[in-house]
Structure 1
Amino acid sequence: GNPIPQGTFLRPNDFILLGTGVALRWLPVSVLAKEERPAPAPEADLEAEAATPEPEVCAEPSTEIPRPEPGKEATTSQRAAFFADLAGRLERGEPIRRAVEESAQAFLPALAGPLHETLGSGQGLAETLARFSEIFTPYELGMVAAGEEAGLLDELLRTLSDSLEAEHRARRRRLRTAGWTCPFLALVVTALCLGLLGVSPGPAGFGSALGLSLAVTTLLVLSLGLTLKALQRRHWFSRQTDHLLDRLPLIGSALRLQAGERFLKALGPLLRSGLPAHRGALLAAGCTGSATHTMALRHAADRIEKGEPVLDSLAPTGLLNAEVLAEIEKGEEHGDLPERLAASSARLEEASHTALARAFPLLILGPALLVALLSALSTALVWLASR
């Protein structure tokens, strides 16, 4: 009994979702009429029909996963702009399929066609983006899934876009600092190693050895960087990286604060929308961006479903400090838990920014030491090859 929204773009064989597991297939009368025509006899009609093929009635949609062009990747800034634009279109009431296609054409052109085709097969946005897991991170997929289920897609997409923009700015700052620190350190270490190995500081021998050593160092750094980038897309490697970073002194505490802030920032709106506490906690658990903390929070959601209070379930995760846990306890007592979660997430966000600023030297020191080690190794290789 509900009318199709004005402006909705439907193609033959598109699905109209009516609810969980219920869908109608859109078959225009013109398609049925053309299918009911008698088969044309001669060759001219066959050529015309081959030039403009009609879709088969009741044909199943293709199960082949459309892929973006090889070598095309989306940067953090591009994905942030895509989600922000998509949130704005959804707030204006545009149909989801058209909004996704136009936002993708503006900011992720290589994905516009594949996303449009996959959405057209009747899948939701979260399931569609999950097919491109090499482009969209688990944090982004978790936020989209939570917003889609709770009917808060535009709000959580806006939150996601802001978070990605902040991450992009922090990454640019690290790259700017590492851009001059690592080359300078490589030059100094290479020169020191050449001196220790007894290479004469004359203009000919020393200069050629220095240049060759720096070239080898550059090749080693690029090879290692590409290898780590490829491994980061593997689930097992990403999980082990999470475990390692979580145990580091300053970096681990900063990442825990960030995961807790993301969890609360998603959980508050989900509870406000009317979702049960255990379901909201389960969806928000996928919004941390950390495999380690996601598993801990999912166990907490299971305990909430079994009847434990939210406070007792979340306390063992280690993500929330005593101040936040006290606010959760007050929220359960007074019935204003979503509002208190929003205030607590803002405080955790500020604390995580402070902690990440303190950990910034370590984030630069790690790559710098690695470059120094590779510089020493390449210098030794060049020295051995020249003997």
Structure 2
Amino acid sequence: MPDFVFRVIDRAGAPARLAIDAASEAEAIETLKRRGLILLGTAPRRGASLLALLNRDIGGAPRLGADALADFTRELASMLGAGLDLERALRFAASTAATPRGRAIILAICDKVRDGAALWRALGEAPRSFPPFYVGLVRAGEESGALAATLEDLAELLERNRSLRAAMIAGLTYPALLALAATGAIVFLLTNVLPEFVPIFAENGVPLPATTRLLLAAGQACAAFWPYALALLALAIPGIRLLLARPAPRLRFDRLVLRLPLLGTLLREALAARFTRTLGTLLGNGVALVPAMAIVQNVIGNRAAALAIATAADAARHGKGLAAGLAAARLMPERTVHLLRLGEETGQLGRMALRAAAIHEERARLGVQKLVSLLVPAITIVMGGAIGFIVASLLLAMLGLDALAH
């Protein structure tokens, strides 16, 4: 039988890798659950071929996207809160799914529930759609008899993450488009407008100023080498993705991004918001601190932040406190550390984590607005300066032509 390698949380609360011999991935996951282990995700087998790794990444079962997962969770929570039984609520959620793929996934879960499986077990058989923290929270909700309330908390978590992500993307889209338009306008002037005047100057024997010659050379270079630049870009993008798929380069890249001025501060606020929101939701629904930290470490999305969380989890495991571990890592904002330390001292860590999340979410939104307010004028000034330089260089050459005529 083939072996499947998983990332799990063992009974001591520590993350580990475990290989399971089973006929299928679903059977292997069931074995993990019988052993009382918390599934974090799958891991590539040692010695796996490049083709196998690529098929693992781009193939496999269909999955729910982040938006579809948030919508599904909200609808399921609403239906259960209104008194529907679980199977009917799942069928309603399937009927309102936005895509056939989402409908198929939800109906498959519904069939397993109808056959007697617990909801969290059915969700756990679709790890591409339902991450470990999601399955863990649903399990806690089912075992405590508060599934509807747990799903409400999950829906709020997913919707807040979606709202923050959408705000950041929307805020940064305009500066990106403005920069692209500015670059396109400058390239157009260099490659199409400025060369039209060259024959006029050449016919009249006008010596071109140094700035005009420089711009003409830049335009010729753009016209001659743009196919090669596009080819290089097409090769660089997958190359960079493959490089960042390796742990060490990805860790260095994630650290570098978090240290950037303005953008790094914004990303740290967003990471702190996601970390505290997920941690607070897990703790508030009965998940113990060390397993909750391991789950958050798996879903944070930044290797440097995950390493800091692992350090903090190790400190908490040895009785040193979560806040002390985060302070030693020096990655999370000081506000996060202070609020979590207060939560530990008062015995309200989950509640304080959620309060910290609300603060960081608001600061991240304000950070986006501040960054946009700086980027848009800066890009406009650079674009205006570049176009002004091109026009001034052309006018200098025109003045030479006028002087020659007189």
Same fold (TM over 0.5): yes
Q: Deviations over 1:291-326 (max 9, x none)?
A: 321232123112211222222222223344334433
Residue pair 1:84, 1:157 contacting (<8 A) in 2 also:
yes
1:160 to 144, 155, 158: 158
Question: In the alignment, is residue 88 of structure 1 matched against residue 75 of structure 2?
Answer: no
1:102 aligns with 2:59: no
Q: CA deviation digits over 1:228-254, x for unaligned, max 9?
A: 897699575865653342232221222
Distance 1:75 1:255 in 2: 22
Q: Report what 2:7 is aligned to.
A: none
Post-superposition offset of 1:102:
2.9
Rounded to whole Å, the distance in 1 between the matches of 2:375 and 2:184 is 18
Residue of structure 1 equivalent to 2:55: none
1:300 to 312, 315, 320: 312
Which 10-residue stretch deviates more, 106-115 or 119-128? Answer: 119-128
Report the CA distance between 1:359 and its aligned residue: 3.5
Q: Does 1:277 align with 2:289?
A: yes
Write the letter of the residue equivalent to 2:257. Answer: L
**Distance (whole Å) between structure 1 residues aligned to residue 335 and residue 272 of structure 2:** 13
State the one-letter code of the partner of 2:352.
R
> Counterpart of 2:186?
188
Q: Quick one: distance in 1 between partners of 2:228 and 2:170?
A: 23
Relative to structure 1, is the Cα distance of residues 313 and 238 closer, same or farther in structure 2, using a 3 angstrom cutoff?
closer
Flag the 1:353–1:320 CA change in 2: closer, same or farther, 3 A.
same
Q: In the alignment, is the contact (CA less than 8 A) between 2:76 and 2:89 conserved in 1?
A: no
2:47 counterpart residue number? none
**SS, match of residue 106 in structure 1:** coil
* Per-residue Cα deviation, 1:30-78 (whole angstroms, up to 9, x for no partner): xxxxxxxxxxxxxxxxxxxxxxxxxxxxxxxxxxx9634xxxx976654
1:150 equivalent among 125, 136, 140: 140
Against the structure 1 CA distance between its residues 327 and 100, is the aligned structure 2 distance closer, same or farther, given a 3 Å change threshold?
farther
Unaligned runs of 5+ in 1: 1-14, 23-64, 133-139, 370-387
C-alpha deviation, 1:221, in angstroms: 10
2:72·2:93 contact (CA, 8 Å) conserved in 1?
no
* Map of 1:354 onto structure 2: 366
Match of 1:55 in 2: none
Match of 1:265 in 2: 277
- Could you tell me which amino acid in structure 1 is paired with residue 86 of structure 2? P
Q: Could you give the per-residue CA deviations for residues 94-122 of structure 1, whole angstroms, max 9, x where no partner exists? A: 42796288348522322332454477566
Instruction: Provide the residue aligned with 1:67 in structure 2.
Output: 61
Of residues 127, 130, 133 in structure 2, which corresponds to 1:130? 127
What letter is aligned with 1:157? Answer: A
Per-residue displacement from partner, 1:100-147 (whole Å, max 9, x unpaired)?
883485223223324544775667365344335xxxxxxx73542442
Give, as a single letter, the amino acid of the residue that structure 2 aligns with 1:302. D
Q: 2:300 & 2:166 partners in 1: Cα distance?
A: 17
Deviation at 1:173, TM superposition (A): 4.0
In structure 2, give the amino acid aligned to 1:141. Answer: P
Distance 1:278 1:77, change over 3 A: closer
Q: Distance in 1 between matches of 2:71 and 2:376?
A: 26
Say whether the 8 Å CA contact 1:331–1:337 is kept in structure 2.
yes
* Counterpart pick for 2:321 among 309, 316, 320: 309
Q: 1:164 to 1:190 in 2, by over 3 A?
A: same
Residue aligned with 2:300, SS: coil
* Identity over aligned pairs, percent: 20
d(CA) in 1 for partners of 2:366, 2:190: 36
C-alpha RMSD over aligned residues: 4.8
TM-score where L is the length of structure 1? 0.58
Q: Which residue of 1 aligns with 2:206?
A: none
Structure 1 residue aligned with 2:257: 245
- Rate the CA distance shift 1:115–1:302 in 2: closer, same or farther, 3 A: farther
Aligned-partner Cα distance in 2 for 1:105–1:323: 41
Q: Which runs of 5+ in 2 are unaligned?
A: 1-26, 36-58, 142-149, 201-215, 383-406
The count of corresponding residues between Structure 1 and Structure 2 is 295
Give the match's secondary structure for 1:162: helix
Q: Which amino acid aligns with 1:81?
A: D
